Structure 1
Amino acid sequence: MDLHANLAAVSIRCMGDVRIAAEALRDIALGCSGLHIVMTDNIASKAPMEDAEGNVLAADVYGWTGENEHWWKDSKLALSSPLPRACRYESEVFWANAEGFRTRQPNPYLDEMSLENFEKRALTKAAIVVPVHLPFGQIGAVCFVSRDPARADLSAEYDAFADEFALLSHRFVAGYVKAHRTRRWLPCDCQLTKREVECLRWASIGKTDKEISLILSRSHATVRFHIQNAGEKLNAVNRSQTIFKAAQLGYLGAAA
């Protein structure tokens, strides 16, 4: 596998590159492992990925044209399938079947996830999955699956190709999202102060201004000022949206 050449082949700089890059990723997966691709740039969106002419990649490039293979039309898939759900809790490439998730490092969140009726919910017996975590909280997912309905073990392919799949998938999806994005949802170069972030972190876990003032030994008015000032920087219309936008930009983090 010529990783440098393959990364160049799947890179997207504009919508005109999408079709060629998608075909390159398809051919790489088929050539090195005989696997087929199921992909979404955003597990929270119902919109399918398309090329510059509006053709759905899943059907036109990746060959999901069978009567029961139009998986992107199932609006509930991201909520019901354990594969995209797992991408909310894992950032490294993994593989899964009805017996469990296999990750590079232990992940207790996945260990506790239900795999009941795995094949019916995931639409496959097994898959290698690359979570693609992008700016502003967007999560994409690229799944590599076998067309053979009997294949339930992808451990060999995972050991051999998972790292390359991860790099290529991230390059493709990140490029697609940048080329496809036409609207700015967040202000550019927003810089919050230490105090603003501190107040918002407490507010994000449900603390009131009064409670935050006691925790930080600051006046009620000072806490309110910091939160309101952060909201103005983030172009937020209220406290909830201020917290949401700050979280999307990575200011609030998550508990370890």
Structure 2
Amino acid sequence: MLKVDNITAVRIADAQSVRPAAEAFRRIVEELGDFRIAACHNIAMKEPMVDATGAILASDVFGWTSHQNDRWWQNSRIALDSPLPAACRYTSEPFWCNAHGIHSHQRTAFLEKIDLTKFEARALTKAAIVAPVHLPFGQVGAVSFSPGDPECDDMSEAYAAFGDELGIYARTFIASYVPVMCRAQRVPAASHLSKREVECLRWAAIGKTDFEISTIIERSRATVRFHIHNASLKLDAVNRSQTVFKAAQLGYIGLNS
């Protein structure tokens, strides 16, 4: 049963509390079942999660050994080749997966299209429960819970019993780690785009030229350029592409719309 005290225990307040929170996370998860935790605060980066002294949490707290196959955070192909982070890019809900499919409470067409060939070699496990953690500025973290038994390839019962609970602990742990231990994003905190600036950027994001945008919104090209330039100044962007990117990071525009 989900306990408020457990959520509080895995929440990180400052650098000194990273290790105690990680240790609490491991203890809580071990009480639920025989799981191995693999936590990543940003699937796009190689840097592992560390405590205040720089010790790597994966090996020092979560029990991954010095054996080469266990040092998953040193594998540069994981982020691009493994189906686990691939699935995390397309859903924000916990799921479990094996070589036969990616399973979640809600059917998602994107997940059904992910390549699962040579699953074990690419995911470094036969099965796992995975909790994606979508953060501000487009950052995606993830925590996977693989079975202690390396031969286990079915986590359907564990997912049904603990999937949502593990997801809450994972999100609390990762979301509180990032502002404490990671460098701040280079996006002005007080930036506020106008309705017209957002409208121009929304069309620019799908490839429309200034001329095409001017026709759509019934304004001159100079006006379109003016709004996009103003947006770039507010977002501290160096060009049109970065302006669109930062606007998407802040949720002003949706790149999938």
Q: Could you say which TM-score interval applies, normalised by the shorter chain?
A: over 0.9
| Offset, 1:255 | 3.7
| Aligned partner of residue 151 in structure 2, secondary structure | coil
Runs of 4+ in 1 over 4 A off after TM superposition: none
1:142 aligned partner: 143
| Offset, 1:209 | 0.3
CA distance in 2, matches of 1:66, 1:115: 27
1:7-44 deviations in Å (ceiling 9; x for gaps)? 01101010111000001111111111111101100000
Q: Is the 8 A contact 1:3 1:164 kept in 2?
A: no
Counterpart amino acid of residue 25 in structure 2 = L
2:208 corresponds to 1:221 = no
1:52 aligned partner: 52
1:78-98 deviations in Å (ceiling 9; x for gaps)? 100000011000110000000
CA distance in 1, matches of 2:128, 2:214: 49
1:83 aligned partner: 84
CA distance in 2, matches of 1:139, 1:235: 23
Counterpart amino acid of residue 18 in structure 2 = V
1:183-207 deviations in Å (ceiling 9; x for gaps)? 3411012110111011001101111
Structure 1 residues 4-153: aligned runs within 5 Å: 4-67=4-67, 68-153=69-154
Shift in CA distance, 152/168, structure 1 to aligned 2, threshold 3 Å: same
**Total equivalences in the alignment:** 256
CA distance in 2, matches of 1:30, 1:194: 50
CA distance in 1, matches of 2:153, 2:47: 29
Supply the RMSD in Å over aligned alpha carbons: 1.0
| Aligned partner of residue 191 in structure 1, secondary structure | coil
- Mark the runs of 5 or more structure 2 residues left unpaired by the alignment: none
1:191-233 deviations in Å (ceiling 9; x for gaps)? 1011101100110111110011011111111111110000010
Counterpart amino acid of residue 237 in structure 2 = A
| Aligned partner of residue 97 in structure 2, secondary structure | strand
- Mark the runs of 5 or more structure 1 residues left unpaired by the alignment: none
| Aligned partner of residue 164 in structure 2, secondary structure | helix
Shift in CA distance, 108/2, structure 1 to aligned 2, threshold 3 Å: closer
| Offset, 1:66 | 4.1
Worse-matched range after superposition: 29-38 or 133-142: 29-38
| Aligned partner of residue 114 in structure 1, secondary structure | coil
Counterpart amino acid of residue 27 in structure 1 = R
| Aligned partner of residue 11 in structure 2, secondary structure | coil
CA distance in 1, matches of 2:157, 2:241: 46
CA distance in 1, matches of 2:241, 2:209: 12
Q: Is the 8 A contact 1:192 1:230 kept in 2?
A: yes
Q: Is the 8 A contact 1:43 1:139 kept in 2?
A: yes
CA distance in 1, matches of 2:206, 2:256: 10
CA distance in 2, matches of 1:2, 1:210: 55
| Offset, 1:181 | 2.6
CA distance in 1, matches of 2:131, 2:59: 20
TM-score using structure 1 length: 0.98
Counterpart amino acid of residue 155 in structure 1 = S
